[in-house]
């Protein structure tokens, strides 16, 4: 079994109240692969330019990730993003977006990638997501991300992709924007009626919610003393979540119980991601550290629901 991710590979320049980096490895596919590689062999599909350096190739290959389908575009430059976070690291301003080789990216999938049983469509143009989805004839479970930009300018194409996937992962405001529904419960229910059997609402520092036909599951973010750089947190979450599904799915459809466990691993991985800049923390993370936070999350969310005597 293996897991294919299609998405951006980037260099990021990031400034937060706790420091800055002029040029560090980033991109949705990168963060996803670093997390998902704890669970399964990951194949990354995405373009890089001449400036993509040996250290970046090495980081991308952490825990055995296969980079055969990373396309080096001769004469091109790697996607570059520059942003700055506010004092509470809650919101950010994009200062530079140079698409570079990403502007004309046409995913080229090897046969091995199209045979992966699990596929993650990171946030790229919905038209490309649909092409990839159709090319990956071996995929049995597909998850996708998107963003407000595509909801606004490519709504119909986005709906077409959503109808073909098993799981939609979006920020909760984006779910409400996508459906025009005022509550997460209504938005998720509508999306389930379109085709996906699972919806994940990312809620930033508040955690994430999973909705399936079996109901709701909510998990808080892991409480941290310090958040240094939130860049890539959502993709790291997706990597842990989808990676867990890839390693453990042995039934169709994927059970609610399995997705809940996947949520815990995604949440634990994302919590490490934001403690340092870019890929720095997750690249050297250990299995024991991941397990420790999954167990902490279980302790932090359990309570005794035995009915109390109530007055009437």
**Least distance between a second copy and beta carbon 159 (Å):** 22
Count CB atoms within 10 A of the CB of residue 34: 30
> Which position has the token pair 């991308």?
60
How many angstroms separate the CA atoms of 288 and 239, rounded?
18
**Least distance between a second copy and beta carbon 237 (Å):** 15
Tell me whether residue 130 or residue 290 sits nearer to a second copy (CB atom).
290
**Least distance between a second copy and beta carbon 300 (Å):** 5
**Least distance between a second copy and beta carbon 205 (Å):** 8
Tell me whether residue 74 or residue 180 sits nearer to a second copy (CB atom).
180
Tell me whether residue 17 or residue 163 sits nearer to a second copy (CB atom).
17
Tell me whether residue 28 or residue 228 sits nearer to a second copy (CB atom).
228
Cis (ω within 30 of 0) for the bond into 253?
A: yes
Contacting positions for a second copy (CB under 8 A): 17, 37-40, 63-64, 87-89, 176, 182-186, 189, 203, 205-207, 209, 215-220, 223-227, 244, 247-248, 257, 260-261, 263-265, 286-287, 290-291, 294-295, 297-312
How many angstroms separate the CA atoms of 25 and 27, rounded?
7
Tell me whether residue 250 or residue 308 sits nearer to a second copy (CB atom).
308
Task: Give the residue from 186, 172, 43 showing the smallest Cα distance to 117.
Answer: 43
**Least distance between a second copy and beta carbon 85 (Å):** 11
How many angstroms separate the CA atoms of 142 and 172, rounded?
20
How many angstroms separate the CA atoms of 189 and 215, rounded?
10
How many angstroms separate the CA atoms of 46 and 40, rounded?
19
């Amino acid at each position: 079994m293996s897991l294919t991710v299609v998405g951006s590979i980037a260099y990021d320049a990031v400034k937060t109240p706790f420091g800055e980096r002029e040029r560090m490895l980033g991109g949705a596919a990168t963060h996803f692969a670093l997390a998902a590689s704890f669970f399964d062999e990951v194949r990354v599909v995405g373009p890089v330019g001449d400036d993509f350096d040996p250290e970046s190739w090495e980081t991308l290959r952490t825990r055995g990730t296969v980079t055969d389908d990373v396309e080096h575009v001769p004469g091109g430059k790697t996607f570059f993003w520059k942003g700055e976070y506010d004092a509470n690291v809650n919101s950010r301003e994009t200062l530079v977006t140079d698409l570079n080789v990403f502007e004309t990216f046409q995913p080229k999938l090897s046969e091995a990638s199209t045979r992966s049983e699990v596929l993650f469509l990171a946030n790229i143009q919905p038209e490309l997501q649909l092409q990839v989805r159709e090319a990956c004839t071996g995929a049995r479970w597909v998850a996708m991300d998107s963003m407000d930009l595509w909801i606004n300018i490519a709504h119909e194409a986005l709906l077409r992709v959503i109808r073909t996937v098993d799981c939609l992962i979006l920020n909760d405001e984006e779910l409400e924007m996508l459906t025009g529904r005022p509550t997460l419960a209504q938005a998720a229910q509508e999306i389930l009626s379109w085709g996906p059997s699972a919806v994940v609402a990312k809620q930033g520092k508040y955690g994430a919610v999973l909705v399936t036909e079996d109901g709701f599951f909510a998990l808080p973010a892991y409480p941290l003393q310090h958040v240094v750089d939130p860049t890539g947190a959502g993709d790291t979450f997706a990597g842990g979540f989808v990676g867990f599904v890839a390693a453990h799915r042995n039934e169709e459809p994927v059970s609610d119980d399995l997705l809940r466990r996947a949520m815990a691993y995604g949440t634990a991985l994302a919590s490490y991601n934001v403690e340092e800049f870019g890929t720095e923390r997750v690249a050297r993370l250990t299995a024991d550290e991941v397990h420790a936070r999954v167990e902490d999350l279980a302790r932090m969310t359990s309570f005794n629901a035995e009915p109390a005597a109530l007055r009437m």
